[in-house]
Amino acid sequence: MWSRNSNNNNNRQSCLPTSKGPFLPGCIDFMTEYSENGFFVRLFYPTEKTDDIRKYRNQWIPWCPDISYIYGFSRVLRMMPFIIRFVFWWTSGNIHIPTLYGAKVNNTHKLKPIIFSHGLGSNRFLYSVICNELASRGYLVAVIEHRDGSASNTYYYKSKEDAKNDKRTPIDFINIDLGKNHYNKRNSQIHKRSEECEKVLDFLLGVNMGKCPENVLKDVPTNKEINFELSDLIDHIDVTNVTMCGHSFGGATALYAISKRKEFKQGILFDPWMFPIKDEQDVFNISQPLIFINTQTFHITTNVKAMEKFLNCEGREMYTIVNTTHENQTDTVFTAGYWLNWFMIKMNPFKAININNYLVFRFLTKYAPSSYSNFDEECKQFLEKERRAFVEGLTKPWA
């Protein structure tokens, strides 16, 4: 197993990989409504700061917010919680996200918005490396923590009083066994997830027009300094160019959401799990530009055949990053090391995530270029240097 610390002389790093863009990334958690019908997102965005992020360690936040998420991971993996706690302690210690929590947003230009749907058993913080990188280059990323039972753990507050006392109403992860009802149950989750994506889309459209709902989490006691104001985003979101993005189950969710709303102008799909939308014909008729960025070992033949149907028109790209596994597009390779396909020689995860991100940047440069920085030449140089580490075209089935 590749250990996160193996390239660091066994000295524990205190954070995930830092971003490379011109601006330091910031983030804020945002929850609407005192009910399950609201939504819960983490917003990643560029701040006004451009110096060394290590100077602001006091504003970093723990990668895993609290013990409830450890219990959530244990439900996903069907392991005892103490095993999960030990793995994270042994491989990464108390790892933090190098982002300025609650910092003021940089609104000197309009921000290109990206809505991100997480995978099965994931949550709002599991893709922080990717989202920090996007934020540091001028994108506003809204990562949804889904409430359909597919998040490792999530929650809401039933009242203002509950929020003041941090009395959470949990929504636990639901294990759905294989069988004749598996598709129907997963497809039902896709519909719920897509509805949440649409709620977040409408939220961003509304904020841009001056409709700023209260953040329920403002009622929750905190010792963090919060300078983020949602009103700073009024007329500073480029709502004419919204990108939908997702990983695995979230990839299928992204495709379904794109089929439902014309405001999504393009899609970014990381290792999409196509099974839950296999009978959704409207999904296969979408016309927006798409990029599929796949790992080498995730896709079986039926998944590949489903993805192939999208490669029949212009504006479609597909890449496979060699010697990678499904976990490479999440933060877990940096917090717990590699755990899939033990006997395969794997790519260094820092290299893998850089290839993944530069493929994203090149795609966004074509269809949703950042107003904050031009990194077209940077993408070309990096991807040319690493051209042997990824393959363009239809992904080959692993099994």
- Percent of the residues in the chain that have a pLDDT greater than 90, as a whole number: 85
In a domain, 93, yes or no: yes
Beta bridge partners of 320: 294, 391
Q: Is 326 a catalytic residue?
A: yes
Sign of the CA dihedral with 344 first, then 348, 351, and 352 last:
positive
Note the pLDDT of residue 11: 40
Q: What's 225's domain CATH number? A: 3.40.50.1820
Tokens coding 279: 């009978």
Instruction: Give the C-alpha separation, 331 to 335, whole Å.
Output: 6
In a domain, 92, yes or no: yes
Note the pLDDT of residue 356: 98
Q: Write the single-letter amino acid at 117.
A: S
Q: Which of 92, 152, 248, 259 is catalytic?
A: 248
In a domain, 111, yes or no: yes
In a domain, 6, yes or no: no
Q: Which of 122, 271, 299, 331 is catalytic?
A: 271
CA-to-CA separations, 104 to 46, 48, 209, 324, 378, in angstroms, rounded: 9, 7, 19, 36, 27
CA-to-CA separations, 299 to 257, 272, 333, in angstroms, rounded: 22, 9, 19
In a domain, 185, yes or no: yes
- Report whether 68 contacts 85 (CB < 8 A): no
Cα angle for residues 298, 301, 303 (degrees, 5° grid): 65
Note the pLDDT of residue 90: 56
Note the pLDDT of residue 166: 97
Note the pLDDT of residue 351: 98
The number of C-alpha atoms within 13 Å of 177 and in the hemisphere containing its C-beta is: 2
Tokens coding 135: 């934020």
Note the pLDDT of residue 322: 97
**CA neighbor of 193 nearest in space, from 153, 152, 149, 140:** 149
In a domain, 31, yes or no: yes
In a domain, 7, yes or no: no
Sign of the CA dihedral with 16 first, then 18, 21, and 22 last:
positive
Residue tagged 């399950």 (tokens): 36
Note the pLDDT of residue 1: 38
Note the pLDDT of residue 88: 63
96-97 and 100-101 as β-strands: parallel, antiparallel, unpaired? unpaired
Beta bridge partners of 291: 268, 317
242-247 and 169-172 as β-strands: parallel, antiparallel, unpaired? unpaired
Number of compact structural domains in the chain: 1
Q: Can you give the pTM of this predicted structure? A: 0.94
Measure the N-to-C terminal CA separation of the chain; round to a whole number of Å: 21
In a domain, 398, yes or no: no
**Domain around 297:** 25-392
Tokens coding 318: 């597909």
Note the pLDDT of residue 85: 67
Note the pLDDT of residue 341: 84
Provide the residue-wise pLDDT of the chain in tens; the chain has 399 residues.
344 443 333 344 489 999 999 999 999 999 999 999 999 999 999 999 999 999 999 999 999 999 899 889 888 887 777 776 666 655 556 899 999 999 999 999 999 999 999 999 999 999 999 999 999 999 999 999 999 999 999 999 999 999 999 999 999 999 999 999 999 999 999 999 999 999 999 999 999 999 999 999 999 999 999 999 999 999 999 999 999 999 999 999 999 999 999 999 999 999 999 999 999 999 999 999 999 999 999 999 999 999 999 998 999 999 999 999 999 999 999 988 888 888 899 999 999 999 999 999 999 999 999 988 788 889 999 999 999 999 999 999 996
